[in-house]
Structures are given as C-alpha cells and as structure tokens.
C-alpha cells in the first residue's frame, strides 16, 4: 500500500465551496498514465493536478492535469491551485511548471492571492451552427486558430443571455470544443460560462484557460489590456485578467478545503 499527499483546493475563491475545485497531488516520480487517469476519475473534480520535481532545469516542477475522463492540454484553475499548495508555506515568491503542451507556466504571489501566467489563445469569426443549436441560443461564434486548446467563443449581447443558457449537453458532448459563452458584465467588465461535456466537464465552475482566450478577445473590444471577470456558474468565481503580449495574467485567491492522504493499493 502507498500513500500520496493530497490537497483539495477551491481556486479563484475567497471562501470554501466557491470557485473551482481541484485536487493537487505532488509526486516524487510519474505514476503510469492509467493510474493518473484512475485517480482523476476517483476524485471526480474538473481537474486533478499532478506535480513532479523537474530535472530538466527548465522549471521547478513538471505538471499534468486529468479530468475524470481524459488528460487535458491546459488547465488554469488547477495550475493556480498547484501554485497555492507549493507556495502557501514557502518563502518563495513564485513557482514555475513545465507542461507537455502549454510551455512553462508561472504562479506568483500577488497581495493576498496569486497571479497565474498562461499562454493566450486567439480566435477568428467562424460559423458554428451545430454549436449554437446545442446551446439553444444565437450568438456570434469565433473559433480557435492558435492556442493550447480547441475553443469556441460565443459572444452574446448581455449578461442575462449568458445566465439564461440551458444547453443540450448530449448534443454538446458530440462537439470536441470548449464552448466559452461570454458577454459584457454588469458587476464586472466581462461575464462568462464555460461548457466542456466532450472532455468530461458539463459546465466548468471557473476556467483559467478560457480566460487566456478571452484576454485578447476582450482587450481588443474594451480598448484596454486589463479587466475584471466573473464566471457565472453555480459556484461562481471572480478574477482579474491582464494581457501582456502573448501571456494572460489571471489574478485570484485560493482556499485549502481538505489536506490529507490518498491511498493507492
């Protein structure tokens, strides 16, 4: 029997039971992919993050993320949660992560919380009638042309339209895309909801990688490189977004909900 250190963190949250849940499990060396996926399924969070000390010299740690059904190419909230676990009792101001598809990511302290640097994604206008039919509402669609993930932004006129969405999840499950539904916000500059049933996450609570795509999209429309954002999921989460060249800096706080051990046979 083997025991692994385990953290359950609410990311982009200032109190428990809000923001986005992530499990963080530090390892000395990589376990088999089948074991990592089985742990992700057992945790049943949007993501379980695994970190291993990086021996290449490129970063402090290697980092991988698993949903209950698959490994993903980029995850923001679980990276923020990993940074929180590694920095909360450390004198260090920053930690870096080498990833397999998104390059080197960084989490650094920022006041009472953290800032996370992610590579931005870019989109261009493209008709997506099947996606709009699955969402059950009309919007303007913009599909990914560059970035770590396949995403589609659906732009709506106002926050009410985004909050009212009730997608057909079975239809969305057949579309291999992250659907980022967004509009100008009321209490924040931007509001969004994110649906990813094809990747095992019907509606995500707070999605860092989506905001790395929203960063250049909304910076161009707002005429400034920094804005506030709210993801209007049931749990909800608020974050700051700052575009810096080809990086998006996402700001937020984290709360440790559970700290314990995960038992492997």
Taking only the tens of pLDDT, the chain with its 265 residues reads: 899 999 999 999 999 999 999 999 999 999 999 999 999 999 999 899 999 999 999 999 999 999 999 999 889 999 999 999 999 999 999 999 999 999 999 999 999 999 999 999 999 999 999 999 999 999 999 998 876 678 999 999 999 999 999 999 999 999 999 999 999 999 999 999 999 999 888 999 999 999 999 999 999 999 999 999 999 999 999 999 999 999 999 999 999 999 999 999 8
How far does CA 147 lie from the centroid of its chain? 14
User: How many other C-beta atoms can be found within 10 angstroms of the C-beta atom of residue 184?
Assistant: 17
Which residue spans of the chain are classified as CATH 3.10.310.10? 2-119+251-264, 122-243
Question: Is 22 in contact with 49 (CB distance < 8 Å)?
Answer: yes
203 part of the active site: no
Please tell me whether the overall predicted TM-score, pTM, comes out greater than 0.75 for this model: yes
Considering the segment(s) 2-119+251-264 as one domain, its CATH architecture is Roll (3.10)
Q: What is the CATH number of domain 122-243?
A: 3.10.310.10
Question: Is 132 in contact with 121 (CB distance < 8 Å)?
Answer: no
- b/e per residue 216-247 (b: at least 16 CB within 10 A): bbbbeeeeebebebbbbbebebbbbbbbeeeb
CA distances from 220 to 48, 115, 250 (A): 33, 22, 17
Question: By three-state DSSP, how is residue 187 classified?
Answer: coil
How far apart are the C-alpha atoms of 244 and 200, rounded to whole Å?
31
Catalytic residue among 42, 47, 71, 124: 47
How far apart are the C-alpha atoms of 70 and 210, rounded to whole Å?
18
């Amino acid at each position: 029997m083997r025991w692994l250190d385990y953290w359950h963190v609410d990311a982009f949250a200032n109190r428990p039971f809000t923001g986005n849940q992530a499990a963080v499990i530090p390892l000395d060396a990589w376990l088999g992919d089948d074991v990592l996926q089985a742990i992700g399924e057992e945790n049943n969070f949007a993501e379980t993050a695994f970190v291993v000390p990086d021996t290449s010299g490129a970063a402090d740690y290697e980092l991988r993320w698993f949903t209950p059904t698959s490994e993903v190419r980029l995850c923001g909230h679980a990276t923020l949660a990993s940074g929180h676990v590694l920095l909360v009792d450390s004198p260090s101001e920053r930690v870096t992560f080498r990833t397999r598809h998104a390059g080197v990511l960084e989490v650094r302290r920022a006041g009472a919380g953290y800032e996370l640097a992610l590579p931005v994604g870019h989109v261009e206008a493209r008709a997506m009638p099947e996606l709009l039919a699955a969402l059950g509402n009309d919007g303007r669609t913009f599909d990914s042309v560059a970035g770590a993930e396949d995403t589609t932004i659906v732009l709506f006129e106002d926050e009410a339209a985004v909050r009212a969405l009730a997608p057909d999840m079975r239809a969305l499950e057949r579309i291999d895309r992250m659907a980022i539904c967004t509009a100008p916000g009321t209490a924040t500059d931007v509001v969004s909801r994110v649906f990813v049933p094809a990747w095992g996450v019907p509606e995500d609570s707070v999605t860092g990688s989506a905001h790395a795509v929203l960063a250049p999209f909304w910076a161009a429309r707002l005429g400034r490189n920094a804005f506030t954002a709210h993801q209007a999921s049931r749990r909800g989460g608020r974050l700051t977004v700052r575009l810096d060249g080809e990086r998006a800096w996402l700001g937020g706080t984290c709360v440790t909900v559970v700290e314990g051990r995960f038992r492997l046979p």
